[in-house]
Structure formats: structure tokens, C-alpha cells
């Protein structure tokens, strides 16, 4: 018997802040962080839902930018939109002027309706929620690593700590290898070992490293039978087949046919309030161009139980992105250059963002999901003949995937699996 632990894992987004020149002996003052008062901040439901909706919209805008990028061609896409928005929202705490407005517009926050404080409070709620649910299989958080000679404004650190629950660390960035190791070790621990090398190298000009992480692990409400898992083909495109391992289950599944997008949507529930949505389109581009929060909401409501013979690949993938280009294309340009205004972090030194990187992993197996989820496609190539024909739903060609929380419809992860074997 195969062990039945399935994992859908994490993502991390990172922002690397570098500086132009060097400053002398300051002591990093996490000591000046005032104790977080138990002032229960009542955040207007409206503010929270505005930020929540903006985050959902951002997911798909970011997806389309990533999918269109030259580096993504012929590759799977998988990332955590909520991790990217949490890291950028935390960065925007320290941004001012055009740099700040570009971050707000890029993230979809309407500055005539939302202030930075509203955004901070909304994230405070979002970040608390996963830890507060009974499931201990979801966690999210942020951290900030600060050079021991660099002294950010105490208000900046205070807001990161209070609203983004940032863990703070003082490091010596002149020891590049050591500080990279500290950051990597932290992320590795937070992601249960899944992401062990977020940082490849650190520029000597680094003074601060801000990061966010998310980790999720769920068991399918109904697990797959490993006995039925078989080798099969996955059709990468019309002319390319790759061997894949396909899990199989014949049961009642929540499926919806979106006629307009010519896409079959399968909702696989985890044994929790989370689900994986798998979208198998006739034409990937049609789906990719039209997918939006409103559609996902409709799908979640529209899936109906029906008997299907479902085949889903069993797979593990890792992705890695440098988001500089993509974020610049989304209008967040100034932060990467000489026009950067991060005076909310420090007035004395001119700071810029040198890199935004993102890595993600996704593992799908029999325990993790009931026929579903995952990325990879393996089809139990079985020409099983049934007395009553049961429609077959084979994720044996490129499909998209979302991991979402059903009540809030928060999009934890989003991606496209075009080849589960790479």
C-alpha cells in the first residue's frame, strides 16, 4: 500500500532590496518594535472585500503575464498569487510617490477607495485566517532579513510585524553565502522542505530581504486507489506524447461543462474547506484569455455531481521565476531602477528592488486527491469496457489548475500543466 499523504505545496515570493552605497554602524532595532497592542481593529467588511477582490483579479493578470513571457513557453506554470501579493503589499508599506502608486495600481488597489493602512489591515486578516482554521495543513507568512548595519524606519518594521506577521532577522549581507543560507533555511523550514533554495546568490549591495511563503497540504476527500494507477500517454500537443503515470477513479465527481469556453471543469474536494479545480479546455488560449474570478465563482457554484471515469496524472513539479520583467510590464517599473522611492523604509539611503523571484512546487498523488488534481497527467490507459458507458474525463493534455478555499474563494495557487514529466 502506498502512503497516502498528498501534498500541494508552497510558494514563496521574494523581494531583494539593494542599496547604492554603504552606511556605517547601525544596530537593527527589532527592540524598538512596540508591543502589538490587542487593539482589535475592526476592519470594514467593504475594505477587506475590496482587497480580496483585487487579489483575485491580480491572480489572473499575473498568470497572463507569466504565460505570455518568453521564458514560460513550453513550460508548466505554477505559482501562488497570494504569496506574490502579500510580498508586494508588504513592500508597498515602505514605498512612496510614484513607486507606491505603481504598486497599488499593479496590485489592483484603488487608491481613491483604499489607503495603505486599509491594505495592511486586510492582509492582517488574510494572513491570520489559515492559521486560525482547524486545519493545520495551511500556513502563510512573511519575513524580513535586514543587514546589521542598515537601520530601516521603526514604523516600517512595526507595520510588517503587526499586519504581515513578519519574522525579523538581523544578518550580515557582506557574508553573502551565510546570509543566503539563513534565508534558505528559514524558507525550507516554513515550506516543509519543499523549497530549499529560494536564494541562489545575493548581490553585495543587499541590505534587506523581504519574503512571503505559503504552504498547503491536503488529502483528497476520496483518495485514489493506487492499484488503478497506470502508465499512459500525456499529449503535450498534437505531435508530442510523453509517458505519464495516471491515477484513475470511477465515481461521482463535481463537473461542469463551460460551453462558452469549451472547457470541462472538475472540482476535487480536499478533506477540508479547500478544493482543486482542474480545467480541461479544447483550446488552451480561449481559457487562458477568459479566465477571471467571476468565472471561477460561477464554476464553483455550477459543478454538479455526475458519474465520471476520471484520469489524472500523478506528478511533482517545481517552478522558478524571476518576476522583474513581468511586474514591470504590469506597470511596477520604478521600484527596479533609479526612480525607486522606498523612503518609507529609509530616508537616508536610496534603495531599489533588484529582484523579485518566485518558486513553487506541486505534488499530486493518490492520497492527495480524488481523481484529480493535479498537474500532471497520467492516464490509466485502459480500454476498460463498461456495460453502461461512463463518460471519460482524461486530463491527458494541457490543463489549468487552481487551488482555492471554497468559502472565500481565495486563490492560493494557480497554474497550467502542459507536461507533467518536466
Tell me how far, at minimum, the Cβ of 121 lies from ligand NAG, in Å. Answer: 11
Sequence-distant (6+) residues with CB within 8 A of 115 are none
User: Which residues, in sequence order, are CB contacts of 70 under 8 Å at separation 6+?
Assistant: none
Q: How many angstroms separate the Cα of 98 from the Cα of each of 55, 115, 150, 273?
A: 21, 15, 24, 39
Q: Note whether 141 binds ligand NAG by CB under 6 A.
A: yes
Among 135, 271, 333, 421, binds ligand NAG (CB under 6 A): 271
Options 7, 223, 344, 380; binder of ligand NAG; rule CB under 6 A: 223
Choices 105-113, 146-154, 202-210, 321-329; region in contact with ligand NAG by CB under 6 A: 105-113
The answer to the question of residue 160 lying near ligand NAG (CB under 6 A) is: no
Nearer to ligand NAG, 173 or 220 (CB): 220
Pick the closer one to ligand NAG by CB: 139 or 404. Answer: 139
Of 62, 93, 127, 202, the one binding ligand NAG by CB under 6 A: 127
Closest separation between CB of residue 46 and ligand NAG, Å?
11
Distance in Å, CB of 138 to ligand NAG, minimum:
9
Nearest to 380 by CA among 368, 394, 367, 363: 394
What does the alpha-carbon distance between residue 321 and residue 158 come to, in Å, rounded to a whole number? 29
Q: How many CB atoms lie within 10 A of CB 3?
A: 9
Q: Give 139 or 341: the residue with its C-beta nearer to ligand NAG.
A: 139
Instruction: Pick the binder of ligand NAG from 115, 128, 231, 297 (CB under 6 A).
Output: 128
| Residues that contact ligand NAG, how many (by CB under 6 A) | 15
Instruction: Decide if 393 contacts 306 (C-beta within 8 A).
Output: no
The residue range among 18-26, 128-136, 280-288, 326-334 that interacts with ligand NAG, by the rule CB under 6 A, is 128-136
Pick one of 58, 79, 145, 165: the residue that binds ligand NAG (CB under 6 A): 165
Binder among 55, 102, 139, 396 for ligand NAG (CB under 6 A):
139
Is there binding between residue 219 and ligand NAG (CB under 6 A)? yes
For ligand NAG, the closer CB: 269 or 357? 269
**Nearest distance, CB of residue 137 and ligand NAG, angstroms:** 11
Binding mask 65-104 for ligand NAG (x = CB under 6 A): ----------------------------------------
131 lies in the site for ligand NAG, by CB under 6 A: yes
Which of 36, 113, 203, 384 lies at the binding interface for ligand NAG (CB under 6 A)?
A: 113
- Residue 408 binds to ligand NAG (criterion: CB under 6 A): no
Give the torsion sign (CA, 185, 187, 193, 198). Answer: negative
* Distance, CA of 384 to CA of 395 (rounded, Å): 17
Q: Which stretch binds ligand NAG (CB under 6 A): 8-16, 126-134, 177-185, 408-416?
A: 126-134
Asked whether position 36 contacts ligand NAG by CB under 6 A, the answer is: no
Minimum CB distance to ligand NAG smaller for 223 or for 344? 223
Residue 134 touches ligand NAG, criterion: CB under 6 A: no
Q: How far is CA 187 from CA 11, 83, 121, 138, 322, in A?
A: 10, 13, 24, 15, 17
Please name every residue paired with 235 in a beta bridge, in sequence order, or none if there are none: 241
Q: How far is the CB of 297 from ligand NAG (least distance, A)?
A: 19
Contact residues: ligand NAG, CB under 6 A = 110, 112-113, 125, 127-129, 131-132, 139, 141, 165, 219, 223, 271
Amino acid at each position: 500500500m502506498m502512503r497516502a499523504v498528498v501534498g500541494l505545496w508552497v510558494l514563496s515570493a521574494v523581494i531583494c532590496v539593494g542599496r547604492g552605497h554603504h552606511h556605517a554602524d547601525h544596530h537593527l532595532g527589532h527592540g524598538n518594535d512596540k508591543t502589538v497592542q490587542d487593539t482589535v481593529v475592526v476592519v470594514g467588511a467593504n475594505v477587506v472585500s475590496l482587497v480580496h477582490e483585487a487579489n483575485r483579479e491580480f491572480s489572473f493578470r499575473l498568470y497572463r503575464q507569466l504565460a505570455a513571457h518568453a521564458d514560460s513557453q513550453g513550460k508548466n506554470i505554477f505559482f501562488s498569487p497570494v504569496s506574490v501579493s502579500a510580498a508586494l503589499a508588504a513592500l508597498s508599506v515602505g514605498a512612496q510617490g510614484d513607486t507606491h502608486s505603481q504598486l497599488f495600481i499593479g496590485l489592483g488597489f484603488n487608491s481613491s477607495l483604499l489607503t495603505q493602512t486599509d491594505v495592511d489591515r486586510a492582509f492582517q486578516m488574510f494572513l491570520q485566517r489559515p492559521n486560525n482554521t482547524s486545519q493545520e495543513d495551511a500556513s502563510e507568512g512573511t519575513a524580513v532579513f535586514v543587514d546589521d548595519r542598515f537601520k530601516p524606519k521603526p514604523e516600517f518594521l512595526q507595520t510588517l510585524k503587526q499586519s504581515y506577521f513578519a519574522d525579523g532577522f538581523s544578518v550580515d549581507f557582506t557574508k553573502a553565502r551565510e546570509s543566503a543560507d539563513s534565508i534558505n533555511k528559514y524558507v525550507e523550514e516554513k515550506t516543509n522542505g519543499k523549497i530549499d533554495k529560494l536564494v541562489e546568490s545575493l548581490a553585495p549591495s543587499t541590505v534587506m530581504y523581504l519574503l512571503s511563503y505559503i504552504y498547503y497540504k491536503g488529502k483528497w476527500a476520496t483518495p485514489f486507489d493506487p492499484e488503478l494507477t497506470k502508465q499512459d500517454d500525456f499529449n503535450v500537443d498534437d505531435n508530442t506524447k510523453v509517458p505519464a503515470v495516471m491515477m484513475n477513479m470511477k465515481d461521482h465527481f463535481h463537473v461542469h461543462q463551460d460551453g462558452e469556453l469549451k472547457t470541462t471543469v472538475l472540482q476535487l474536494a480536499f478533506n477540508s474547506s479547500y478544493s482543486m479545480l482542474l480545467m480541461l479546455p479544447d483550446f488552451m488560449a480561449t481559457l487562458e484569455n477568459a479566465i477571471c474570478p467571476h468565472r471561477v465563482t460561477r464554476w464553483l457554484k455550477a459543478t454538479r455531481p455526475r458519474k465520471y471515469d476520471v484520469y489524472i496524472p500523478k506528478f511533482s513539479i517545481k517552478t522558478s521565476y524571476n518576476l522583474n520583467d513581468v511586474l514591470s510590464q504590469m506597470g511596477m517599473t520604478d521600484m527596479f531602477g533609479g526612480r525607486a522611492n522606498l523612503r518609507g523604509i529609509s530616508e537616508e539611503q536610496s534603495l531599489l528592488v533588484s529582484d523579485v523571484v518566485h518558486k513553487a512546487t506541486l505534488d499530486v498523488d493518490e492520497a492527495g486527491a480524488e481523481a484529480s488534481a493535479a498537474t500532471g497527467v497520467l492516464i490509466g490507459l485502459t480500454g476498460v469496457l463498461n456495460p453502461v458507458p461512463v463518460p471519460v474525463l482524461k486530463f491527458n493534455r494541457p490543463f489549468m489548475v487552481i487551488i482555492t478555499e471554497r468559502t472565500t474563494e481565495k486563490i492560493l495557487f494557480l497554474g497550467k500543466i502542459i507536461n507533467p514529466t518536466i
